[in-house]
Amino acid sequence: MRAAFLLLLAALVVRAGDWPFGAGRSGFVRLDLYNLGILGAKASDASKAPPSNTPPHGGLRSTRIEPGGDEGPSALRIELLFPDGPAEKAGLEKGDVLIGIGSAKFSKGSLDPLAKALRKAEAGRGEVTLILRRAGKTTRLKVAVPVPGKPAAKPTRGKGRRLLIDGALDWLAKRQTPQGGYPQTLSGLNGAVVLTSLAGLAWLGAGNDLENGPYKENVQRAAEWVAKSVRDLGGELGMGQRQPGGPSWNQSNWGYAHAAVFLGELHKRTPSRNVLDALFYCAKRLVETQEQSGGWAHGPGGPNALGYLELNIVTALALCGLGLAHQNGFEVPKQTLRKAETYLKASSSGGGVGYSDRPGQKGQGNIGRSAGCWLGYLSLGRAKTKFGKALGNYVRHNADKVFGGHASLMQHILLAGVAAQAMGGAVSRAYWKACERDLVLAHSPDSSFQPRPWHETLSMGSNSDVTFGEVWTTAAWTVVLVSAADAKEGTVGFPAWFNRAK
């Protein structure tokens, strides 16, 4: 059975050719395209020049777009087709321009009507009609799509959510290496640790651990690989200590923080000496790498190539990692927490955490940084302090504003989503009202979740989510889905991260 699967997978890779990021996918040469959900197609803005593979950081070479572009262009040029996917089987071709769906052409953006039509089709209609511009003429094309049934109409809860979770967990399992990790993409070994830790969290949140569940062996291998790999962070070629007079390329704090969240949640479920040792090692390194200011940088070694040091998305993740270590008995030094809070207060306004405490970067809160810091305070048992309440209040009123962030859109979707599920109720509903469309469109025929362009990546011509790859987006979306724990669905969520573990 396994041999047959590997042969099928090999054939699919050959046939896939340029899926999911364009021809010549090696390295960082990748296209930043809109994913069209279960149709199995990716597209660019037809009003712009066709995209081209551009090294070194991937992305779509593009001009700056107008505000509001996050709703999607009114005409989508088909660039990639998933092999044997619904769109390819129906006869959709590269170069076709999608200008509407059903009986109406796109007017105020394409993404909302497209997602709505796909939900209806998967819930029972079984097909969608695409309005296309092909060879200068308008034509219609009917595309048959899989029909999971009524649950697909509500993908963010109940059986619909479970369908997405199950498919994604299996997809992640099939791509895990025999050693337990994932291939390196952005940021070398640090990136691979991040990917493996997020995949591990996805399996954990769905009810698996070292001893239980259909993915327990995947959890075991992930834990062993992460526990070993964190000892090597920061020392690899190109990512190690700063050269004399040059910038620091050390990015190890990303790896330490994500690993600590995964290992901390895991050890709270099924204790393991090896896991605990690695967890405490990550926590000690995070304490040691805290900057004198109280914030955290990508890693130790001084300013990076852009000349800046601290950035509070890393501070948020470091606090989460320390919080999970705290949940397992690690004593976080009081001075570490005092310095971190002083720095965050200097960076923030009204609970909204700014980029840093520097002029032009402080007081400009966004949901990714703020939600991450609040989750750190929650796991550290500090959510009811004055500043913890300020963070929580900001998250409560801004959990739906994921497009107001900076850099990685998926980072904001992930942290805002987990925080929203921790709060539950109206906060969770507001988050999903804003993000359900993007969840539906990210979901692909192979059960992965794909990245998408947004106003910042289109203006910059580079998308770190694309460079980081589909394991990153698939694991991140799945972590958000399983964070809404529901015993009826067999998921358990993240009781340690949410400071609810018994």
Reported confidence tier of residue 307, pLDDT bands at 50, 70, 90? confident
| Domain membership flag for residue 32 | yes
Asked if residue 222 and residue 141 are part of one domain, the reply reads no
| Pairwise CA distance, residues 127 & 323, whole Å | 47
Select from 150, 165, 189 the last residue of a domain: 150
Q: What is the per-residue pLDDT for 162? A: 95
| Pairwise CA distance, residues 408 & 54, whole Å | 19
Q: Which helix (H) or strand (E) holds 141?
A: strand 137-144
Q: What is the per-residue pLDDT for 11? A: 34
Reference 44, options 14, 64, 74, 68; nearest CA is 74
Q: CA-based angle 147:153:155, to the nearest 5? A: 100
Domain count for the chain: 2
| Pairwise CA distance, residues 61 & 6, whole Å | 36
* pLDDT higher at 72 or 490: 72
> Is the Cβ–Cβ distance between 75 and 99 less than 8 Å?
yes
DSSP one-letter string for 51-105: P-B-TTT--B--PPPPTTGGG--SSEEEEEE-TT-HHHHHT--TT-EEEEETTEE
- What is the rounded average pLDDT of the residues 468-488? 93
Task: Report pLDDT digits (tens) over 181-233.
Answer: 999 887 889 999 999 999 999 999 999 999 999 999 999 999 999 999 999 99
Q: What is the pTM of this model?
A: 0.92
Asked if residue 197 and residue 139 are part of one domain, the reply reads no
3-state secondary structure 409-452: HHHHHHHHHHHHHHHCHHHHHHHHHHHHHHHHHHECCCCCECCC
Asked if residue 309 and residue 350 are part of one domain, the reply reads yes
In 303-437, DSSP assigns E strands to: 348-349, 352-353
| Pairwise CA distance, residues 210 & 417, whole Å | 26
| Pairwise CA distance, residues 256 & 160, whole Å | 34
| Domain membership flag for residue 121 | yes
Reference 422, options 369, 489, 500; nearest CA is 500
Reported confidence tier of residue 407, pLDDT bands at 50, 70, 90? confident
Reported confidence tier of residue 454, pLDDT bands at 50, 70, 90? very high
| Domain membership flag for residue 443 | no
- What is the rounded average pLDDT of the residues 316-325? 98
Decide if pLDDT at 409 tops 60. Answer: yes
Reference 57, options 25, 30, 22; nearest CA is 30
| Pairwise CA distance, residues 253 & 238, whole Å | 15
Asked if residue 414 and residue 300 are part of one domain, the reply reads yes
Structure tokens at 388: 């913890």
Decide if pLDDT at 2 tops 60. Answer: no
| Pairwise CA distance, residues 273 & 402, whole Å | 38
- What is the rounded average pLDDT of the residues 324-352? 97
| Domain membership flag for residue 140 | yes
Provide the residue type at 362 as one letter. Answer: K
3-state secondary structure (DSSP) of residue 350? coil
Beta-bridge partners for 76: 45, 98
Q: CA-based angle 170:411:109, to the nearest 5? A: 90
Select from 116, 150, 184 the last residue of a domain: 150
| Pairwise CA distance, residues 444 & 45, whole Å | 20
Select from 150, 172, 198 the last residue of a domain: 150
Provide the residue type at 170 as one letter. Answer: D
| Pairwise CA distance, residues 69 & 55, whole Å | 24
- Residues contacting residue 57 through CB under 8 Å, at least 6 positions apart: 28, 462, 464, 467
Decide if pLDDT at 3 tops 50. Answer: no
Return the percentage of the chain with pLDDT > 90, whole number: 77
Asked if residue 254 and residue 127 are part of one domain, the reply reads no
| Domain membership flag for residue 19 | yes
CA dist 159 → 72, 167, 350 (Å): 29, 12, 38
Decide if pLDDT at 77 tops 80. Answer: yes
Decide if pLDDT at 5 tops 60. Answer: no
Average pLDDT, the chain: 89
Reference 257, options 218, 313, 304; nearest CA is 313
Q: What is the per-residue pLDDT for 17? A: 55
Q: What is the per-residue pLDDT for 12? A: 37
162-176, 360-374, 454-468: which has the minimum mean pLDDT?
A: 454-468
Q: What is the per-residue pLDDT for 244? A: 56
Q: Which residue has the tokens 């290992």?
A: 263
| Domain membership flag for residue 451 | no
Bond before 247 cis per omega within 30 degrees: no
Asked if residue 103 and residue 213 are part of one domain, the reply reads no
Asked if residue 168 and residue 92 are part of one domain, the reply reads no
Q: List the CATH number of the domain containing 283.
A: 1.50.10.20
| Domain membership flag for residue 408 | yes
CA dist 390 → 140, 415, 440 (Å): 52, 17, 32
Bond before 359 cis per omega within 30 degrees: no
Task: Report pLDDT digits (tens) over 219-263.
Answer: 999 999 999 999 999 654 333 444 556 788 889 999 999 999 999
Q: List the CATH number of the domain containing 8.
A: 2.30.42.10
Asked if residue 225 and residue 126 are part of one domain, the reply reads no
Decide if pLDDT at 67 tops 80. Answer: no
Q: What is the per-residue pLDDT for 237? A: 34
| Domain membership flag for residue 447 | no
Reported confidence tier of residue 308, pLDDT bands at 50, 70, 90? confident
Decide if pLDDT at 62 tops 60. Answer: no
Q: Which residue has the tokens 């990210």?
A: 442
Reference 74, options 104, 45, 31, 43; nearest CA is 45
**How big is the chain, counted in residues?**
502
| Pairwise CA distance, residues 235 & 473, whole Å | 27
> Is the Cβ–Cβ distance between 190 and 254 less than 8 Å?
yes
Asked if residue 212 and residue 308 are part of one domain, the reply reads yes
Asked if residue 171 and residue 86 are part of one domain, the reply reads no
Q: Which helix (H) or strand (E) holds 144?
A: strand 137-144
Q: What is the per-residue pLDDT for 4? A: 36
- What is the rounded average pLDDT of the residues 2-10? 34
Q: What is the per-residue pLDDT for 386? A: 98
Decide if pLDDT at 15 tops 60. Answer: no
| Pairwise CA distance, residues 318 & 282, whole Å | 10
| Pairwise CA distance, residues 302 & 215, whole Å | 40
Range of the domain at 75: 2-150
Q: Provide the 8-state DSSP code for 18.
A: T
- What is the rounded average pLDDT of the residues 363-386? 96
Asked if residue 163 and residue 141 are part of one domain, the reply reads no
Asked if residue 115 and residue 164 are part of one domain, the reply reads no
Q: Provide the 8-state DSSP code for 312.
A: H
Task: Report pLDDT digits (tens) over 375-393.
Answer: 999 999 999 999 999 999 9
